[in-house]
Structure 1
Amino acid sequence: MTSPHHASGVHSVIGVDAGTATPREADHLIHGLRDRLTLPAGTFACTHLFRTGERRGATISLTLPARDAATRAGTDTVWQELLTTLPAGTGLVLGERSHGPAEAVGTARQAAAAPPSTGRAVLYPGVEQLTGTVTVADVLDRTAVEHLVVLGAPAGELPGTTRVWTRNHVRPEWRAGTLTLTLVPAAGGLLAPFEVPNPTPCCADHD
C-alpha cells in the first residue's frame, strides 16, 4: 500500500504540544482525539520527543490529506475542533497559523515539520488490520507500513509468509520518508514489534 505521504498532492500537518511528557501519554492523547475529532481517511498521527532547555516531553503531529477543496475544508474543521478540545496552554501550529503560548507553539512547530522524516506513528492507514498474528505480506499489503526490519539481523527482505505477533500494538517509525517497522524474535518462532505494549488498562482499552 502506498503511503499518502508519497501520493501526489498537498498534505496539511498540524503540530500539537498539549504538555504530554512521554510517548505513552501522547498515545493516550491521540486515541482520545481519534474518538473526538473529524479526522479524514488517510490521517497519520505521530509522536515526537523534544527537549528545549530544561523542558522535555512528547508532541504529536496530525498529517491530513488535503488534495482538494473538500479535504482542505476538513483540515479547517479539525483545527477548530482542536481549539475547543485541548486544554488551555496547548500549542498548535498549522502552516502560518498558530495558537497558544510561545514556548508550546515552538515545539508544536517542530512536530509539524517532522513527518515524514521522523516520528513514531500511532494512527496510520490500515492500523486497524494489525491485530493478533498476521504475516509480513499482510502488513505490507494492508497498511501504510512500507518496510520491516529485524533488530540485529542482516538487511534483507523478509519472506511474505513470516508471521508477526502484533500484540495489538504496532508503532512504526518514519525513517527518511519510509514508514518502517522494527521487529524482534518472539516465542514460537514468531516476530513481534520491538516496542512493548503499554500494560496500563487505560491505554490497553484503546488498543
Structure 2
Amino acid sequence: MTAYALTVDAGARDLRAADHLLHALADRLALPGDTVGCTHLVRDGRPRVVVSLSLPSAPLLDTVRERLAAGEYGAVSAGLPDPSGHAVLYPGASRLTGTLTVAELLERSAIDRVTVLGSPLPPEPDTRMVTRDHVRPQWQGGALVLAATPALGDTLVPFEAPDPTPCCADH
C-alpha cells in the first residue's frame, strides 16, 4: 500500500456497487495500471461500503483529488479507512482469468500469497485455481493475500464469490 491514498464514500450499500464504482473511477480518471483500488466495509450507524484509491505519486493523488472535488462520486477524504481493504483494482488483476496455477497467479499479479481456508499450509505452486474471473485479495499485514477454498477436481477457487447471495434474500 502507499502513502498516496484517498477514500471515496458514495454510500454504496453492497460490494457489487462498490466494485462498479472503482471500475468507473478507473475509466473516468484514466488511472494507471499500478493503482490499487479497494473496497472497505464501514460498520457505523450507517453501514456501507467505501472505496479507496492508492496511487503511485503525490502529483497523481492531487490530480485525482481535484477531479473528485465536485462530489459527483461522493465525499472524498485523505488516506485509507482501514489497512485491510479487498483489492478490486491492482497490478495484474485483468490477467487473472480462467484456470491458472497458484504459481501463475502470483507471477501475473501483485498478489503476495495464497492461503487455503482450513489449512495451515500454503497451496502447492502447481495447484490449479479456477478464478471465476473474480479475484479479490485482501490486505493483511501489508501484503495482498488471496483466501481460497477447495473445489471439485483438486482445484481451488477464490473465497469471495463473484455473485454472492444477498443476506436474507428469501425474506
CA shift digits 1:100-153 (9 cap, x unpaired):
xxxxxxxxxxxx242xx3111101111011000011111111211111111112
The match for 1:27 among 19, 24, 34 is 19
Matches within 5 A, 1:21-60: 21-53=13-45, 55-60=46-51
Which amino acid letter does the alignment assign opposite residue 34 of structure 1? A
What's the counterpart of residue 65 of structure 2? 79
Name 1:64's counterpart in structure 2: 55
Amino acid at match of 1:78: V
Q: Which amino acid aligns with 1:193?
A: P
Hey, what does 2:117 align to over in structure 1? 151
Q: Give the counterpart letter for 1:187 in structure 2.
A: L
1:91 maps to 2:91: no
Deviation at 1:86, TM superposition (A): 2.3
The C-alpha deviation readout for 1:73-107, integer Å capped at 9, x for no partner, is 222221222234724xx210136xxxxxxxxxxxx
Given residue 86 of structure 2, which amino acid in structure 1 is its aligned partner?
Answer: R
Q: Which amino acid aligns with 1:56?
A: P
Corresponding residue SS for 2:146? strand
Query: 1:192 matched to which residue of 2?
Result: 157
3-state DSSP of counterpart to 2:153: helix
CA distance in 2, matches of 1:152, 1:174: 19
5+ long unaligned stretches in structure 1: 67-71, 96-111, 200-207
In structure 2, C-alpha distance between the alignment counterparts of 1:150 and 1:32, rounded to whole Å: 31
Kept in 1: contact 2:102–2:123 (CA 8 A): yes
Post-superposition offset of 1:11: 3.0
Q: Which has the higher helix share?
A: 1
Cα RMSD (Å) of the superposition? 1.9
CA contact (8 A) 2:129 2:157 kept: yes
User: In structure 2, do the counterparts of structure 1 residues 191 and 15 end up closer, same or farther at CA, with 3 Å as the change threshold?
Assistant: same
Secondary structure of the 2:135 match is coil
- Measured in 1, the distance between the counterparts of 2:31 and 2:71 equals 14
Q: Which amino acid aligns with 2:21?
A: L
Alignment of 1:81-120 (within 5 A): 81-84=67-70, 86-87=72-73, 90-94=74-78, 112-114=80-82, 117-120=83-86
1:172 aligns to what? 137
Match of 2:169 in 1: none
Write the distance in 2 (CA, Å) between the matches of 1:160 and 1:51.
37
